Amino acid sequence: MGKERPDIMMFLIPTTLGESIMFNYNESVSNELINPYMKTPGFAVLIFLLHPRGTGTVRLRNTDPFDSPILDTNHLTNKQDEDDLLAGIRMFEELISTEVMKSLGADLSINEASFCSHHQFRSDDFWRCMIRHIAHNFYHSTSTCKMGIKGDPTAVVDLDLRVQGIKNLRVCDASVFPSVTSANTNAPVMAIAEKFADMLKKERKTFT
């Protein structure tokens, strides 16, 4: 209540999570929370933190351009991020307690993991423990190559998507977002691509 934009998204999928390799959980977590239910009819809910406050880094590993960079996501380094995920879990608990969900046989008890059993099941401490064990980054990563005005020391590209300080190099993807957008990124990425296409067309007309 009182927030200017949503900070949590619930994503219900009409299947259990299936292959644990998708989430890269260690064997003990997979054996307890995923593998036993791979062929069980049901649904799963993913609770997304839309605007994480923790700031990660992308650094060069060395001078070899073909070596992978060093990525540090810094997930959950800001306590408010954990608090927001906990609030999302509490919202889902309210949903799962409705008569419609009960009629479907929806049950949270399969989340009673042994690795968090030193906390009372469904207590704040229990869910925080679960967040620390199973929260992960998803596939809508953005904002590693910020777009900004000329003179902004934090900007990598300018408003025409040119990499500042390097000639004839531009970036046109989700990395140029100045901040993480709410929900899925496909629409704003298409907007960036359309903007870039229009700029290129105008520049071509200028040279012809």
SS3 27: helix
Domain-terminating residue out of 85, 103, 134: 134
Q: For residue 23, what are its two tokens?
A: 């989430």
pLDDT of the chain, 208 residues: tens digit per residue = 567 788 899 988 887 776 545 677 888 888 888 888 888 888 888 899 998 888 888 899 999 989 999 988 888 999 999 999 999 999 999 999 999 999 988 888 889 999 999 999 999 999 999 999 999 887 788 898 999 998 899 999 999 999 999 999 999 999 999 988 888 899 999 999 999 999 999 888 776 5
Task: Identify whether residues 153 and 86 lie together within a single domain.
Answer: no
Beta bridge pairs of residue 147: 157
Catalytic residue from among 51, 119, 133, 140: 140
Domain-terminating residue out of 134, 153, 183: 134
In a domain, 3, yes or no: no
Task: Identify whether residues 47 and 129 lie together within a single domain.
Answer: yes
- Which residue shows structure tokens 């995923």? 34
Task: Identify whether residues 205 and 108 lie together within a single domain.
Answer: no
Q: For the beta carbon of residue 157, count every other beta carbon within 10 angstroms.
A: 20
How many domains does one find in the chain?
Answer: 2
Instruction: Specify whether the backbone of 204 is left (phi greater than 0), alpha (psi in -120 to 50) or beta.
Output: alpha
> Can 140 be counted among the known catalytic residues?
yes
